[in-house]
Structure 1
């Protein structure tokens, strides 16, 4: 039992010291960073009318965002305080004017800028408080022991609210220091949490995350509607230009055959052969059309076998790893299948790779698929590669797409969709 108590005391002592060190580190970094970014932000905004600010403001606001994101990460890692962020995306390749005013009009960015003066004042104080509370009791013990040099000059020295003139009054300083040391033991880790809660109170837009979620869902819903309409037009066009045209031609051939079957049997046989070819071609086109809507192998065998079938049709050696405990929802399987198909098409056309690896697995309630090639790299979302369309399609299901493609390769495209497995 004594061993458990001593271990608990040591653990608590480490927590107290760690909170004090972390708070002191934050306090040292808070003041210069916040002051610098606040001054740079104000200067950049003032310089917008002369044009210079159009180029400096986005860079400065990106730095402010990085500072705020660092504080969010530390808040969650150190004290479990989650500070949501709801930044509005800025279009890639936007002009300086558009980029500047998109960022200035973002409520979350305005919160970040508002947070800077709070962080350099109240934030500095709350970050420094854990270290002060830890160190201040030792001054009281030094005063009580007569080692505090100011006492040698005579007069009254105030330790907190206790006047110390020497002799018995030094016991009052020792008692105060003991009380403060107990308060340090009890409250120092919580004081660091106070700093991060203050940060959350300023940075949190209060429903901004929900508003951003509604905005994203609205956009993805519109994308889904547009995609469905485009798909219907494609199906109609393919039917009209392909299978329908062949069936019409076959009907005309059959009509001609009826007239020639008695007068010119040889010509009728040639037309019959042509009609049979048209029938086979129309059937093949209809199968391709159905495969483009929802491949039969996907409906019958599931995502894993459908991806394997995709890999077999590629002109490159492809290694497929599948770890799925069961079937996924049909819409999720379809979205993942066509996303993988698009990524593989990009890899074959643009990467210059000679080998591709596909990994499909389901874990922690999420479907994760990675496609890796050993090509030249340089792939990016929105660079005309079709990945932007994949990202929008996945967004309908709350999915995300990530691309890592440094120059020289390799390229790794990963997609993730939250879903259940049956």
Structure 2
């Protein structure tokens, strides 16, 4: 019965929209040599991709078939002006998925229109769309290589930034105190016979400097790899983290054992950032931390840690450029992890991360 409604409705949309987008795309490409196409091609292709994604969504909702997006990611920091326009146009035209969309549009306005118009043939329309819009094996491999290149690049940048932070903290903190303590000890050595009272006062000051230097070194080590994480494992480390938050955190943590140290560290600091962001920006009265282990026993399946941080604050959090949560994304991407965010204005905010994590 639904096919009697869905089919004709899809046919009414398919014919004019496919013809319009195909015509605009073709004209834009033809106008590339005189420069006009450089301006018109990017918005036209974005419209084509939006339309193709809507059809992928319908295939999923009506036919239960998943059709992943095959598009290569565009640069996160595009150039401005004509340089950025040329760069964007070039990247779009180099993407094989752009040309697959161009081939799909004529098929959609012909075979797609006919199969949509005849309700018994509507399933053929779901299969045709999937076959022409899903990524090929080569495209999936290319996407994977590009993703690995991007995460490796981010990992190198993160490591370099972390080294610079450690060097700066050592130079400005513990190192300065130790140097001052060494100078004080030299002065004490000269004063100990002539002015014992002054020497005693400087010894007390040196003891205080040594204690402060030790505290700073411990804080620095904790920032690299928290001792509680090494000694007691991820569940207890996350519970300790929740207890230190300035707002009440209700935690439910179910993990079966230990994981590789880099994975535990990545999850720990990601959760720390999420909890800190919630307490600092969302103005919540309560935060919920749920951590569980999802074991996938199928062939080739990935078992993973799933963490959800929910708060009842004001919402409005974002993963856009400039957001601190992008650092969490980059940290997780090094392990093929992902971060999803739902934060409507007015709240609540729910951040979910997943990281592949075989048991150690």
Match of 1:369 in 2: 307
Residue deviations 1:45-86, cap 9 Å, x none? 6788797984x7655534432432344455566667654432
Pair 1:217 & 2:201 matched: no
Residue deviations 1:324-381, cap 9 Å, x none? 1222221111111111222233333333334322222221422111222233322212
Q: What displacement does 1:35 show?
A: 2.3
- Aligned residue for 1:359, secondary structure, equals strand
Which of 71, 74, 81 pairs up with 1:90? 74
Name the CA distance, whole Å, in 1 between partners of 2:81 and 2:48.
Answer: 18
Residue deviations 1:10-57, cap 9 Å, x none? xxxxxxx98898777755654344224324544666788797984x76
Match of 1:405 in 2: 343
* 1:246-261 → structure 2 map (5 Å cutoff): 246-261=177-192
Q: Structure 1 residues 30, 274: CA separation in 2 closer, same or farther (over 3 Å shift)?
A: same
Question: What is the TM-score of this pair, normalised by structure 2?
Answer: 0.82
Query: Contact 2:63/2:126 (CA < 8 Å) preserved in 1?
Result: no
Q: What displacement does 1:104 show?
A: 4.4
Name the stretch that deviates more: 247-256 or 211-220.
Answer: 247-256
Residue deviations 1:236-261, cap 9 Å, x none? 22122211221222222222222222
Q: What displacement does 1:105 show?
A: 4.2
Q: Structure 1 residues 247, 379: CA separation in 2 closer, same or farther (over 3 Å shift)?
A: same
Query: Contact 1:86/1:209 (CA < 8 Å) preserved in 2?
Result: yes
- Aligned residue for 1:320, secondary structure, equals strand
Q: Structure 1 residues 305, 254: CA separation in 2 closer, same or farther (over 3 Å shift)?
A: same
Which of 355, 362, 377 pairs up with 2:286? 355
Name the CA distance, whole Å, in 1 between partners of 2:20 and 2:277.
Answer: 44
5+ residue gaps, structure 2, are: 296-302
Match of 2:243 in 1: 312
Q: What displacement does 1:206 show?
A: 4.7
Residue deviations 1:136-168, cap 9 Å, x none? xxxxxxxxxxxxxxxxxxxxxxxxxxxxxxxxx
Match of 1:186 in 2: none
Pair 1:106 & 2:95 matched: yes
* 1:174-189 → structure 2 map (5 Å cutoff): none
Name the CA distance, whole Å, in 2 between partners of 1:77 and 1:408.
Answer: 29
Instruction: Give the number of equivalent residue pairs.
Output: 347
Query: Contact 1:351/1:376 (CA < 8 Å) preserved in 2?
Result: yes
Name the CA distance, whole Å, in 1 between partners of 2:41 and 2:309.
Answer: 37
Q: What displacement does 1:92 show?
A: 5.9
Name the CA distance, whole Å, in 2 between partners of 1:248 and 1:307.
Answer: 36
Match of 1:147 in 2: none
Pair 1:65 & 2:54 matched: no
Q: What displacement does 1:383 show?
A: 4.2
Name the CA distance, whole Å, in 2 between partners of 1:194 and 1:288.
Answer: 61
Query: Contact 2:336/2:356 (CA < 8 Å) preserved in 1?
Result: yes
Match of 2:193 in 1: 262
Name the stretch that deviates more: 278-287 or 345-354.
Answer: 345-354
Residue deviations 1:155-205, cap 9 Å, x none? xxxxxxxxxxxxxxxxxxxxxxxxxxxxxxxxxxxx945862575246534
Q: Structure 1 residues 356, 318: CA separation in 2 closer, same or farther (over 3 Å shift)?
A: same
Which of 208, 212, 217 pairs up with 1:281? 212
Q: What displacement does 1:114 show?
A: 2.3
Aligned residues: CA RMSD: 3.3
Q: Structure 1 residues 79, 351: CA separation in 2 closer, same or farther (over 3 Å shift)?
A: closer
Q: Which has the larger radius of gyration?
A: 1
- Aligned residue for 2:353, secondary structure, equals strand
Match of 1:142 in 2: none
Question: What is the TM-score of this pair, normalised by structure 1?
Answer: 0.71
Query: Contact 1:343/1:371 (CA < 8 Å) preserved in 2?
Result: yes
Pair 1:239 & 2:177 matched: no
- Aligned residue for 1:282, secondary structure, equals helix
